[in-house]
Amino acid sequence: MKIPVALMLLAASTATWAVTPGQLAEAYASEAATQSPGFRPSARRGAELYARRFAVSDKMPACSACHTDSPVQEGRHAVTGKAIKPLAPRAGAARFSDPAKVEKWFRRNCTEVLGRECSAAEKADFIAFVSEAK
């Protein structure tokens, strides 16, 4: 399992492994800044990533294919039909609170939708977007 060093340190610094979406975004932003000095997370870029259509899967061409156009709404998996809780932290306090789970789902979903793992910058932008979603 490939968990960024900043996330491992963040998780180790908490007794219950629970963190806030902001702390996760900061850890990803810190990692992204090592590759692109001055990087700052952008909710706008996160929204663009969320809505962008990729040519990897006809059934899951974009995040919104399963998660709807709004991350505050419940979604449905495009292949299995399984209900998916809203992504936005304001819709569920547990969202983006467990670094290991966040990495697991980013790895799985980015691979299925984008055809590759998401970069630290994309993860920081995505969390910024869903954290501001109304």
For the chain, counts of helices (H) and of strands (E):
6, 2
- Give residue limits of the domains in the chain: 5-132
Q: How much is the pTM?
A: 0.85
CATH 1.10.760.10 fits 5-132, yes or no: yes
CA angle (19, 7, 96) in 5-degree steps: 40
- The pLDDT profile of the chain, 134 residues, written as one tens digit per residue, is 445 555 454 444 444 457 999 999 999 999 999 999 999 999 999 999 999 999 898 999 999 999 999 999 999 999 999 999 999 999 988 899 999 999 999 999 999 999 999 999 999 999 999 999 98
Amino acid type, 18: A
Count of CA atoms in the C-beta half-sphere (13 A) of 10: 25
CA separation for the pair 34, 22 (Å, rounded): 19
CA separation for the pair 66, 78 (Å, rounded): 5
